[in-house]
């Protein structure tokens, strides 16, 4: 008896017309194989550094090289997974409403069945004595309010701007590149790892995240469980 359905594979066009994924590695210290590179259509960018912890800063060189070739430039640490298919729609919506002086960052979370909660958002507020000097570098409103599908969404000037991830459009990158802080290699934000992912945009833009009740509006998975297993207050 023939099946009741037709096994037809359809190609659904994407709103994103072109996407290049580049993975920066230090020398031969990586897990990429030629098979993985071919299967996932990624480009391996190999660099040699005296201190591998500065690897993230190499992404700035790449962004500068292709500054006129793309609409959006995305930085992500290697232990993160963005699953939101509406990422660019949300970013563009945020920019249209609140301007290019602001950057929307995702809230990081972990899935962990051994933790007090199955899903845990892991970016707690930083100490005011530490974060306030950085926040004072750029003017920005404490909050913005928007509406999505008829539901209000509030974004706050976050007290923990680190996500291990950022996305800026071409206009924002151009503004950033003209500043004296571009490629400054300042590592004063916790460590070189966090500084590469966060400090540059923190000095140039007001960074916002969706407030606690709406964290899922833009979120990114941290593929680890070390934060979620820590004791938390209910």
Distance set, CA 137 to CA 44, 50, 57, 134 (Å): 35, 31, 21, 5
Give the residue extent of every domain in the chain: 21-222
What single string gives the DSSP state of each residue in 78-128? TTEE---TTHHHHHHHHHHHH-TTEEE-PEEEEE-TTSSSSEEE--PPPPH
Q: What is the DSSP letter of 200?
A: H
* Cα–Cα distance, 15 to 72 (Å, whole number): 13
- Of 107, 118, 119, nearest to 80 by C-alpha is 107
* Cα–Cα distance, 151 to 45 (Å, whole number): 42
Give the per-residue pLDDT at 183.
87
Give the per-residue pLDDT at 62.
94
As beta bridge partners, residue 194 has: none
Identify the CATH class of 21-222: alpha beta
3-state secondary structure of 217: helix
pLDDT in tens, the chain (234 residues): 566 766 778 888 877 888 999 999 998 888 899 999 999 999 999 988 889 999 999 999 999 999 999 999 999 999 999 999 999 999 999 999 999 999 999 999 999 999 989 999 999 999 999 999 999 999 999 999 999 999 999 999 999 999 999 999 999 999 999 999 898 899 999 999 999 999 999 999 999 999 999 999 999 999 999 899 875 555
Helix and strand numbers, DSSP H then E, in the chain: 7, 12
Give the per-residue pLDDT at 230.
79
């Amino acid at each position: 008896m023939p099946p009741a359905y037709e096994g037809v594979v359809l190609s659904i066009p994407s709103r994103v017309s072109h996407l290049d994924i580049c993975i920066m590695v230090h020398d031969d210290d990586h897990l990429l194989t030629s098979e993985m590179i071919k299967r996932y259509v990624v480009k391996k960018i190999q660099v040699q550094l005296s201190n591998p912890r500065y690897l993230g800063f190499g992404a700035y060189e790449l962004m500068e090289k292709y500054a006129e070739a793309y609409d959006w430039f995305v930085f992500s640490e290697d232990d993160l997974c963005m699953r939101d298919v509406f990422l660019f729609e949300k970013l563009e919506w945020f920019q249209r409403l609140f301007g290019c002086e602001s950057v929307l960052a995702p809230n990081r979370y972990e899935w962990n069945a051994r933790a007090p909660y199955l899903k845990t958002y892991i970016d707690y507020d930083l100490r005011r004595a530490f974060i306030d000097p950085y926040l004072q570098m750029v003017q920005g409103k404490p909050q913005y309010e928007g509406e999505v599908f008829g539901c209000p969404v509030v974004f706050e000037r976050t007290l923990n701007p680190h996500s291990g991830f950022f996305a800026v459009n071409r206009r924002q990158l151009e503004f950033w590149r003209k500043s004296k802080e571009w490629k400054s290699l300042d590592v004063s934000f916790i460590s070189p790892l966090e500084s590469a992912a966060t400090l540059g945009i923190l000095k140039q833009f007001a960074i916002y995240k969706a407030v606690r009740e709406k964290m899922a509006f833009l979120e990114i998975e941290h593929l680890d469980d070390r934060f979620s297993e820590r004791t938390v207050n209910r």
